[in-house]
Amino acid sequence: MQLHENDISLLAAAARGDKQAFERIYRAYKDDLITIAAFILREREGAEDVLHDVFVSFARRAGELRLRGTLKGYLLTSCVNRARDLLRRQDRERLRSCALNDLPSLAAGPAEVAAIAQDSGRMRAALASLPAEQREVVTLHIHGQLKFREVAALLGISINTAQSRYRYALSALRAILAKEGAES
Amino acid sequence: MRTENEIEQLLKYARLRTTPAQDDRILTDIFAVLDEFAAVRAASAPTRLKEILRMIFHSRWIKCAAVLVVVFAVVVSLILLGGKGGDISPGPGPGGRVLPGKSTARAARARTMDAYETVAKSPLIYKVHLIQKVAPPEESPFPALEAEVLRVFKGDDRAVGQPVVIIWNQEYDRGRPQRTCLSLDHLHIIDLTKVEVVCLVALAPADPPTDEKGRARLRNPFSLGIRGTRVSKRDIDAKRWTAAEDTVERLRLELLNALDDPDADVRNSAIRALRGWHGTPAEPSGLLWKDRETARKILAAGKDPDWRVRWVAAWMIPPEAGKEGEELLLRLLFDPVRLVRQPARFLLSKRGREDIVKPLDEVIDYQLDESLSPFLDFSKQFTVETQIRWLREHEQWEIRSDAACWLGEYGHKEATEPLIQAMNDEHFEVRRWAARSLGLIGGEGAIAALMAVKDSDDGRVRVMAAWALANLGDSRGFNKLVALLKDKDTRAAVEAAEMLGQLGEERAALPLLEATQDSRAVVRGFAAIALIPFSRGQYAEAIESATQKLENDESPYVRAAAVAAKERISQVRIPGNG
């Protein structure tokens, strides 16, 4: 996410309907957004829909958009809100039963990720087992590259809460991975 | 057990990526949305200036910088003006002036004079303020200011490299200020390659309109579409042209859409703006007519119910318009409104159709007919007292004749006496229009004054006086018009035919039928058109027969008139016969 410095000019171009500007914005933020959506939803298919909806909605509103913060902040907020809405609509029981089976199929990353695909797959599965509020904080901090202050503002919680949730999440992940290592 | 750093590293590796197929699908959908909204944006898109303002308003740094600049300016102003009463009124300078935000007419006039003084004293400042309120014509500095603007922009090398901002919301008709803005119409005087920045800004009315007419004015492309338009920006010539062409293209869509507006004033403004671009340096590649959709719209505007739209559209039909264009011009050659016929006549002549238009030379005085103000409605802004004063005293006969016309058109009974006096005006045009107005408003002494001139030396005054008498119910007027059909003055004869048609009294049909056999082709043609209103009455068959006969007339002009009459008769009959 290196685009935020040029948000204003890019957004101005996008507001004029400049397709190249939209493509630049999309390519800059797509992987982070799909990761965040996938970890909030614990499934890739829904994450793709969220990504699609975020950018199509952005395309519709770009001409009228009144950006209060950064473009990145706007897109992440839009992504998290949509993922949360979708999550609420889904059958939680069905989601839990298949979530761990779904997540390993998410691996579609580059070569360096493929080399540690096993660990990544286990990590995704472990992350999926965390409570939703901890997943949000972890994925926004790690994949959204947001500071805790920004994560807290985006989720409407205090910085301390965000940091606490992050620490609990990491402890839980360590425990899950250690247990899996011992079992294997 | 892994450390927290290792866990964080693993989380980073667990980042997902979209596949190219997903990217294609989503980008395709985004682009489809953009295409879908492109037309909407073209109609209501923010202008580039708005976009820049939005950028400014949403940038913290620029906001901070702006606040600092304002604070600095205030401090400097206070220091400079210390002990002068505290008014902030900096002197002339390239940055223009900080004008007080008062909205009274007095303040507006002060701003006008202020702006004028700035330009007059500093000819190298290419920042022209033409303010919103109209100053009384006798006090108006506008003609001098306009001359200054024209001098600056007409190939004056001093404009090279200078920023130019035109805030233009005035229009001039024979030296009189008008309220509407004419930015695009005047753009052809600006050579975009010679200037760095051209910013056309049409000011909105000072107070939000509350009535329907005011709201319609706001929909007017002159008021909104052009506001804040940035035509050219600092760059090399090629890029400046591109910017100008982009603007033309974007405005073209806005203006073309405005041609479908239900408000005739909006359509009129739109077509005039399009004409302003047409064939000017601002529209160097002939974009307007090359585009098929634009051409179709302009041809359709030539059939608009509002004569002003037809009139302007007629002037925009070039030879490239082909057969469709010629058909439209032939139709407009017999338009009920005289002014609309002029471009048709002129352009048909340019196309080598002299055979058709030649007979008209005998009856059309190009300069005089053009003098009939097409902007009569703009005169509404002046009071009756002003118009009467102009009628009596103005040194230009055009202004006097316009005033005479306007006073009758809007039915001001108090104008009867000055109009009677105007029947003795030295210029026959003033007498003619005064006679017409008397025929419209009547009043004590009107008939006597008209009777006095019904045998005037000038044929057109005779016709108008006869028409006025007839319109006031005096049968002597009608009889005079019938007699004038055989007048030696061909111009009087054709105008008599036209007036009889306008009066719509069925007893005029027989003399007009007789006039279709006149030895003069142009009289036959005018008679054919004048018979149209009677084509549903008791003389329907005779008129149809006469029209058919004229379709085989030896004169191409008469044949064309018969075809036009036949077409309009068919349109007249549809509602009558169900």
Place of tokens 């975009």: B192
pLDDT in tens, B516-536: 999 999 899 999 999 998 888
Mean pLDDT of B417-428: 90
pLDDT, residue A63, reads: 72
Highest mean pLDDT among B182-191, B229-238, B360-369, B425-434: B425-434
Q: Is the predicted pLDDT of residue B419 greater than 60, yes or no?
A: yes
Measure B19 CA to nearest chain A CA, in Å. Answer: 8
pLDDT, residue B137, reads: 33
pLDDT in tens, B84-94: 333 322 222 22
pLDDT, residue A67, reads: 67
Q: Does B9 touch chain A (CB under 8 A)?
A: no
Question: Rounded to 5 degrees, what are φ and ψ at B318?
Answer: -90, 170
> Angle between the B4-13 and A117-128 helix axes, to the nearest 10 degrees?
100
**Which strands, in side-by-side order, build the sheet including B229-232?**
B127-129, B163-167, B197-201, B229-232
Mean pLDDT of A75-91: 79
Neighbours of A53 (CB within 10 A): 19
Task: Indicate which of B2, B3, B6, B11 best probes the interface with A, i.e. most A CBs within 10 Å of its own CB.
Answer: B11
| Lowest mean per-residue pLDDT among A151-155, B44-48, B122-126 | B122-126
In B465-568, beta strands by DSSP E: none
Q: Which residue would you say has higher pLDDT here, B342 or B103? A: B342
pLDDT, residue B42, reads: 61
pLDDT, residue B55, reads: 66
Q: Is the predicted pLDDT of residue B563 greater than 70, yes or no?
A: yes
Q: Could you tell me the pTM of the whole model?
A: 0.46
Q: Is the predicted pLDDT of residue B436 greater than 50, yes or no?
A: yes
Residue A92 — pLDDT band, cuts 50, 70, 90?
very low
Q: Is the predicted pLDDT of residue B154 greater than 60, yes or no?
A: no
| Beta-carbon separation of A119 and B13 below 8 A | yes
pLDDT in tens, B342-378: 888 888 888 888 888 888 877 766 544 444 444 444 4
pLDDT, residue B337, reads: 82
SS3 B171: strand
Q: Is the predicted pLDDT of residue B291 greater than 70, yes or no?
A: yes
| Beta-carbon separation of B17 and A56 below 8 A | no
Nearest to B45 among A59, A63, A173 (CB): A63
pLDDT, residue B572, reads: 65
**Cβ-Cβ contacts under 8 Å, B41 against chain A:** 16-17, 63
Mean pLDDT of chain B: 67
Helix runs in A90-158, H state only: 92-102, 111-115, 117-128, 132-142, 148-155
Q: Which residue would you say has higher pLDDT here, A168 or B276? A: A168
Q: Is the predicted pLDDT of residue B43 greater than 80, yes or no?
A: no
| Lowest mean per-residue pLDDT among B24-38, B162-176, B493-507 | B162-176
Nearest to A26 among B12, B30, B58 (CB): B30
pLDDT, residue B209, reads: 45
> Angle between the B459-471 and B446-453 helix axes, to the nearest 10 degrees?
150
Highest mean pLDDT among B113-117, B447-451, B533-537: B447-451
Measure A91 CA to nearest chain B CA, in Å. Answer: 24
pLDDT, residue B112, reads: 46
SS3 B179: coil
Measure A56 CA to nearest chain B CA, in Å. Answer: 5
**Cβ-Cβ contacts under 8 Å, B58 against chain A:** 8, 66-68
Residues near B485 by beta carbon (within 8 Å), at least 6 away in sequence = B493, B496, B497, B500, B511, B512, B514, B515, B518, B523, B527
pLDDT, residue B206, reads: 30
CA distance linking residue B421 with residue B403, whole number of Å: 13
> Which one, of A67, A158, A139, A145, lies nearest residue B54 by Cα?
A67
CA distance linking residue B34 with residue A60, whole number of Å: 7
pLDDT, residue B102, reads: 35
CA distance linking residue B351 with residue B359, whole number of Å: 16
Measure A15 CA to nearest chain B CA, in Å. Answer: 8
pLDDT, residue A142, reads: 82
Residue B380 — pLDDT band, cuts 50, 70, 90?
low
CA distance linking residue B464 with residue B432, whole number of Å: 6
**A39 token code pair:** 């970890």
Q: Are B258 and B269 in contact (CB under 8 A)?
A: yes
> Which one, of B204, B196, B92, B186, lies nearest residue B142 by Cα?
B186
